[in-house]
Structure 1
Amino acid sequence: MRYMATYDLMETVRNTNQWLGATALAMGAYPAFALSPNPALAWMQAWGEVTERTFQRMIVKPDWNIPPVPSTGGEEHVVTTEIVVNRDFGDLLHFEVQGRKAPARKVLLVAPMSGHYATLLRSTVISLLPDADLYITDWHNARDIPVSCGKFDVEDYTLYLVDFMKELGPDVHVIAVCQPAPLTLAATAYLADEDPKAQPRSLTLIGGPIDPDATPTDVTDFGHRMTMGQLEEIMIQRVGFKYPGVGRMVYPGLLQLTSFISMNAETHFKAFTDQISRVAQGEAADHDKHNKFYDEYLAVMDMTAEFYLSTVERIFKKGEIAKNQFTVGGKPVDIGKITTVAVKTVEGSKDDISAPGQCVAALDLCTGLPDEKKASHLEEGAGHYGIFAGKSWRRNIRPLVLDFIDANSGTPRRGKAANKNAAA
């Protein structure tokens, strides 16, 4: 499958379905047909509208669309984004709240590079902005990065995080969500050895596969079942001529999306048929619950082949982070070197992606860290998405994370111990 023709074929299928949807929408909305109302035309128009939007979103990077941040005085402050560090494969992005004095909490949110854009954490960003000076890793779509920019694997990813932490300084608090948790832990350990003064004050790891084998899931089983040769043959393609990254080997976003949807095919099929019905009956809206979710869910990005393959091989198959055997540039990264950075893990009891036990394994790896600087929280009834963006995050986890940050800010405002908010 490692051919441009295969990549272009997938894009052709997507483009054709978008065109079919647009055609059906235009035909169903043809003014002359209004003279003799026909339910079939209304359904054709509805199908066209939903289909066009669905396939069009797959190649569009969503906007952040962050609402104004209210102040205690009742004022609303407009939020803009500013690139602090610009790199080939990802930027360090700052959310600038206009006219507001920067809060004491400086937070770096490490977004996943697992098929979706950093905007997947939009609701997480919105929830943290009133209480933090917030930065985020904004990873780029591999199809838009020229081959001349070189490779990007798990070691490069780790070094990017090291550079971003150095840029923000030692008073930053890092929150890593899902996929980047093990590499963020490794980046912190790298700093502990190479530049201890640049280490963050705290590290919160949310639903990440620190030790994937601690609690096996369908994701970990797949990683062990497939050989690296099979993965490379089935998953990897070359970017076609339509994009700047022509010729780059990638794990295509469209292929990833197919995998995402196949995991809950019946649920997604029902969601789309229900939406077509709502559109036909005039009950849908441009920013209703369905569109709000799927506009983000369907927006996928390509990953570099070397990043995807090295993640599967080194994090899942070999368990280099779990065994404390990870290396960067041939140099061992010893997680036991972390001695001053407070570490907290967050898990959801119903997480079927990174099941309970996978993330909390980080605390046992931090052998040089005293117990009072370790904390953990298991959110009962929460799934993977809920622990960083859902109701569980807003009501329970977010306050605990902010308390943890305050307790490890050098001058804690609440005077709490690092693991005061730990949940057994």
Structure 2
Amino acid sequence: MIYQAYQMLADLIAPLQAATDDAAASCAASPMLASGPAFAREWCALLEWSSLVRLRHERPPFDIPAVRGNGASGASGARVAVSEEVVLATPFCSLLHFRRDTTPGQPRVLLIAPLAGHFASLLRATTATMLADHDVYLTDWHNARDIPLSCGSFGFDDFVAQLISLLGWLGPGTHVVAVCQPAVATLAAVALMAEDRDPALPRSMTLMAGPIDTRINPTRINALAVRTPLAWFEANLIDTVPARFEGAMRRVYPGFVQVCAFLSMNLDRHIASLIQAYQYKLDGETAKAEAIRAFYTDYFSTMDLPAEFYLETVSRVFQQHALPRGCLTVAGRRVDLRAIRHTALLTVEGENDDICAVGQTEAAQELCSALRPNLKSHYVQTGVGHYGVFAGRRWATQIYPLLRKLIHETEQRCVEAAQPVHG
């Protein structure tokens, strides 16, 4: 079995990895080595690079000690401290609150991270940017290998129910931002809440690089899902967690399989990026090297997915295209996107996205046919791929201002609507 074989190999090389980590830490702690002769600097850079390129199975820390707050005009203000707090925990997810030492009152945002093989820390830059203007909560999905079988299963319907539950706990006035894979579940959750006239219905919904309709400009991933029977995915990609972990015998889609698949799609680009980080380290360009190191620390941190959630997502989203065809059901209820009438919608795509192509997220605009045109907006960011939609310079300087504007204008409309009418 692939998981058992992988774990055996990981155990065999663990002592070597530990020794490499210790040596890399010694180099980092010794300024003389880091700034010494060429051979010493090359050795230190090689050790750091070797320490980086490996799979890990725990979430890296968010490490957002402070952010620079923005004024009403968007101008940068003083730095404010940030503390991370779990405010609600379920077996499969923790709701993180990034609490800031500042006056409350900024719009509340639920940032929905993907459950797709990486930890929520992949949205570190997204979170840090949004904290300047918003009260941010985030879904921190748990590694399925650490969830005991006694906690039950977790499928697509459970994912949607979890989102509705979290929004209900946060209460009225929340804005929701879904990144990549959870866009479909988020759209379904909002539609069901709208149909139920749920008081916690989000005021706005931003869907970023999400697979709403993968029939549009299908990528290699989309094409593979369509032409491959679901039984193949179950037979070849699903395995059981080894006995040594809390989730022993739970059926999962191993995160290391997902990450290896992503790596294979753009292997040359990843190798070039890692070599560039090595060169930056040698040249003393610390900030550039650190940016690449930070990305790959998250990229190589993998988490397992519950098998039922993975298979149901492949089937409903990528094979049946159930949501855009109007036949998606959640817990026996058909999802009717025409029920969404008051939640403002922003969809964002990346011009060069090879995971979720241009047009796939925008499809939500037409599907939400009962939403007034002034409550809908769409944006395509030129020059970025999938990760550039929610991290990096263009996210911070071009995409985020649009998201902030949407939330601000939505808040303003709600304030005006609540004003008493005189005369």
Q: TM range, normalised to the smaller chain?
A: 0.7 to 0.9
Instruction: Give the aligned partner of residue 78 of structure 1.
Output: 81
Instruction: Give the aligned partner of residue 351 of structure 1.
Output: 353
2:217 matches 1:219: no
Deviation at 1:302, TM superposition (A): 1.0
Deviation at 1:281, TM superposition (A): 7.4
The one-letter amino acid of 2:132's match is: P
Instruction: Give the aligned partner of residue 51 of structure 1.
Output: 50
Deviation at 1:17, TM superposition (A): 5.9
Contact 2:281–2:289 (8 Å) recurs in 1: no
Instruction: Give the aligned partner of residue 105 of structure 1.
Output: 107
Deviation at 1:278, TM superposition (A): 5.8
Contact 1:202–1:405 (8 Å) recurs in 2: yes
The secondary structure found in structure 1 opposite 2:358 is coil
Deviation at 1:391, TM superposition (A): 2.0
The one-letter amino acid of 1:165's match is: L
Instruction: Give the aligned partner of residue 192 of structure 1.
Output: 194
Instruction: Give the aligned partner of residue 324 of structure 2.
Output: 322
Contact 2:110–2:136 (8 Å) recurs in 1: yes
Note closer, same or farther for the CA distance 1:43–1:372 as it changes in structure 2 (3 Å cut).
closer
Note closer, same or farther for the CA distance 1:242–1:43 as it changes in structure 2 (3 Å cut).
farther
Deviation at 1:398, TM superposition (A): 1.0
The secondary structure found in structure 1 opposite 2:131 is helix
Instruction: Give the aligned partner of residue 12 of structure 1.
Output: 11
Instruction: Give the aligned partner of residue 369 of structure 1.
Output: 371
Deviates more, 1:200-209 or 1:328-337: 328-337
**TM-score normalised by length of structure 2:** 0.87
The secondary structure found in structure 2 opposite 1:197 is coil
Instruction: Give the aligned partner of residue 390 of structure 1.
Output: 392
Separation (CA, whole Å) in 1 of partners of 2:86 and 2:23: 41
1:269-309: per-residue Cα shift (whole Å, max 9, x none)? 23334545666777768972331221111111111111111
Instruction: Give the aligned partner of residue 298 of structure 1.
Output: 300
The secondary structure found in structure 1 opposite 2:53 is helix
The one-letter amino acid of 1:396's match is: Q
Note closer, same or farther for the CA distance 1:206–1:146 as it changes in structure 2 (3 Å cut).
same
Separation (CA, whole Å) in 1 of partners of 2:331 and 2:272: 48
Instruction: Give the aligned partner of residue 146 of structure 2.
Output: 144
Instruction: Give the aligned partner of residue 420 of structure 2.
Output: none
Deviation at 1:38, TM superposition (A): 11
Contact 1:104–1:132 (8 Å) recurs in 2: yes
Counting aligned pairs with the same residue, the percent is 37
Deviation at 1:131, TM superposition (A): 0.6
Unaligned runs of at least 5 residues, structure 1: 416-424
Contact 2:337–2:367 (8 Å) recurs in 1: yes
The one-letter amino acid of 1:325's match is: C
Deviation at 1:402, TM superposition (A): 1.3
Deviation at 1:5, TM superposition (A): 2.5
Separation (CA, whole Å) in 2 of partners of 1:357 and 1:386: 17
Separation (CA, whole Å) in 1 of partners of 2:416 and 2:13: 53
Deviation at 1:70, TM superposition (A): 3.4
Deviation at 1:382, TM superposition (A): 2.5
Contact 2:145–2:304 (8 Å) recurs in 1: yes
Separation (CA, whole Å) in 2 of partners of 1:357 and 1:285: 35
Note closer, same or farther for the CA distance 1:42–1:381 as it changes in structure 2 (3 Å cut).
closer
Note closer, same or farther for the CA distance 1:131–1:217 as it changes in structure 2 (3 Å cut).
same
Deviates more, 1:271-280 or 1:243-252: 271-280
- Give the number of aligned pairs: 407
Separation (CA, whole Å) in 2 of partners of 1:346 and 1:256: 24
Note closer, same or farther for the CA distance 1:274–1:17 as it changes in structure 2 (3 Å cut).
farther
1:96-143: per-residue Cα shift (whole Å, max 9, x none)? 002x11233111111111111111111111111111111111111111
The secondary structure found in structure 1 opposite 2:132 is helix
1:204-237: per-residue Cα shift (whole Å, max 9, x none)? 1111000011121111011112221211122111
Deviates more, 1:264-273 or 1:66-75: 66-75
Deviates more, 1:363-372 or 1:336-345: 363-372
CA RMSD of aligned residues (A): 3.0
The secondary structure found in structure 1 opposite 2:110 is strand
